[in-house]
Structure 1
Amino acid sequence: MEDQFVKIASLIGDPTRAVIMWTLLDGKAFTATELAIGANTSPQNISMHLAKLLDAGLLCVEKQGRHKYYRFSNKETAYAIEAMASLIPPAAPQKKTSEKHSSIKHCRTCYDHLAGKIGVAVAESLLEQKIILDLDNKFEVSHEGTKWFSDFGINLDEIKKQRRLFLKPCLDWSERKNHIAGSLGASLLNKMIADDWLRRTKDSRAIQITGKGEKELLKHFKIVV
């Protein structure tokens, strides 16, 4: 176990491979060329790094036509990379004129679920309303929560059938608190986007909150945007 951990840590710790993993947190699949541009390295060098990540089982590759697309091999890898970012020391206090959160810290995606200040606020609201329960840092949906999600338009029985974790806390690197991950977290984000509460931003993990979203977040989660 120790040797395996050292191997994984050394793989992720390389600067180029760290950029690759951070880029893939966007939730999309990328070609080797796109990843090379993002990491500011050559196609030959990126191929070597991708081969190592594939060999370790951290990434997988899909071929479509002439192109190969790389993504995380599983969602747990993405959650681990996001959680590692919480080790970054907090930024020094800023002057009042620059205290406002950047868009990426305010509301963003963490692979396939909602993160940032708004993502954490949603999790805290669900806990406060006892829709979900925190049992020794493990999240569970309460009996009342089952009805709440049904009324909200999310079928828990259906998403439990997915071959992945249903619900788990995910440490938010910018807020240093938990947001909601797993298939339930992904369903919440998808529902909010489908209902036009939230809108994705091109070429960014930042999420825009619409006027409708501001009203609905206040109504359902008591969140003032």
Structure 2
Amino acid sequence: MNPHPSLATAAFLIADPARSVMLMHLLDGKARPAGELAFAAGITAQTASSHLGKLLAGGLLAVETEGRHRYYRLAGPQVALALETLAAIGPAAPVRSKPLSREARELRFARCCYDHLAGHLGVAVTGALQARGYLVPAAGKRFDVPPAGAAWFAGLGLEVDRLRPGRHGLARQCLDWTEREHQLAGPLGVQLMSLLCAKGWLRRSETTRAVQVTPTGWTGLKKELGLDPV
């Protein structure tokens, strides 16, 4: 008896190029129709339907039905974590590569990793929090939040002691697949991303995983964390 049957199944499903593109397209946590996923993967609607059926059966996707329409999303944060972790495996950078498209540059700078901030900006924010002693790396790929950090988050409008720890704790280190450094994830990372959007510092794209920093956001990030516009 194979003690890990689901591992081989999940690996097989993710390994297909078209399926991997559709999965990565859903890393912002939003639900999307089959047609949009088919377009992103460069395949026909019929082929996309077949792939989506397999991903559903394999437990990587969930589906919502609204009238005659079906919308697909990742089955949960554990799928997003697996995808980001796998994407970080491999050479740090190719020896030669084509120039990045505008969309690729935007995603590399700042994007949603399912429910928290990722990309260059996510890593920069996390680094600034550590440099100021607001986050402290801990065992098990977690971050501890010392009193100074709790006070800083509270001043921003986020009460750390009211958050419910997840399976991996309150604050988790998530390896960014483009920057190869850690970003803040877990319940604290989720709420920080939500708060920065609510304050108007960040704006999420409606069509991609890209995140933009508003002028107000740059002012706030400079004041709070010493981050300059780029």
Q: What's the TM-score once normalised by structure 2's chain length?
A: 0.86
Deviations 1:16-57 (A, max 9, x none): 211110111132101122222222223332222112211221
Specify the alignment match of 1:129 in structure 2.
132
Distance 2:76 2:216 in 1: 33
The match for 2:213 among 200, 209, 213 is 209
Query: Could you say if the C-alpha distance between residues 165 and 73 of structure 1 is closer, same or farther in structure 2, counting changes exceeding 3 Å?
Result: farther
Specify the alignment match of 1:33 in structure 2.
35
AA in 2 matched with 1:111 = Y
Which stretch shows the higher mean deviation, 196-205 or 13-22? 196-205
Q: What is the CA-CA distance between 1:12 and the residue it aligns to?
A: 0.4
Counterparts in 2 of 1:132-171, with a 5 A limit?
Answer: 132-136=135-139, 137-160=141-164, 166-171=170-175
Secondary structure of the residue aligned to 1:25 is coil
**Identical-residue share of aligned pairs (%):** 39
Specify the alignment match of 2:60 in structure 1.
58
Counterparts in 2 of 1:109-124, with a 5 A limit?
Answer: 109-124=112-127
Q: Structure 1 regions of 5+ residues with no counterpart?
A: 95-100
Q: What is the CA-CA distance between 1:85 and the residue it aligns to?
A: 1.6
Specify the alignment match of 1:98 in structure 2.
none
Counterparts in 2 of 1:96-107, with a 5 A limit?
Answer: 102-107=105-110
Distance 1:67 1:164 in 2: 35
Query: Could you say if the C-alpha distance between residues 202 and 74 of structure 1 is closer, same or farther in structure 2, counting changes exceeding 3 Å?
Result: closer
AA in 2 matched with 1:48 = S
Which stretch shows the higher mean deviation, 133-142 or 155-164? 155-164
C-alpha contact 2:25 2:208 (8 A) present in aligned 1: no
Distance 1:39 1:170 in 2: 26
Distance 1:4 1:204 in 2: 30
AA in 2 matched with 1:36 = A
Q: What is the CA-CA distance between 1:111 and the residue it aligns to?
A: 1.7
Distance 2:75 2:6 in 1: 17
CA-atom RMSD in angstroms: 2.3
C-alpha contact 1:19 1:39 (8 A) present in aligned 2: yes
Specify the alignment match of 2:100 in structure 1.
none
Distance 2:6 2:164 in 1: 31
AA in 1 matched with 2:108 = K
Q: What is the CA-CA distance between 1:179 and the residue it aligns to?
A: 0.3
Secondary structure of the residue aligned to 1:173 is coil
Q: What is the CA-CA distance between 1:93 and the residue it aligns to?
A: 7.4
Show structure 1 runs of 4+ deviating over 3 A: 91-94, 161-166
Secondary structure of the residue aligned to 1:180 is strand
Secondary structure of the residue aligned to 1:204 is coil
C-alpha contact 1:164 1:183 (8 A) present in aligned 2: no
Asked if 1:185 is matched to 2:214, the reply is no
Q: What is the CA-CA distance between 1:59 and the residue it aligns to?
A: 0.9
The aligned length equals 219
Secondary structure of the residue aligned to 1:87 is coil
Specify the alignment match of 2:15 in structure 1.
13
Which stretch shows the higher mean deviation, 25-34 or 66-75? 25-34
Secondary structure of the residue aligned to 1:160 is coil
AA in 1 matched with 2:121 = I
Distance 1:32 1:204 in 2: 15
Specify the alignment match of 1:97 in structure 2.
none
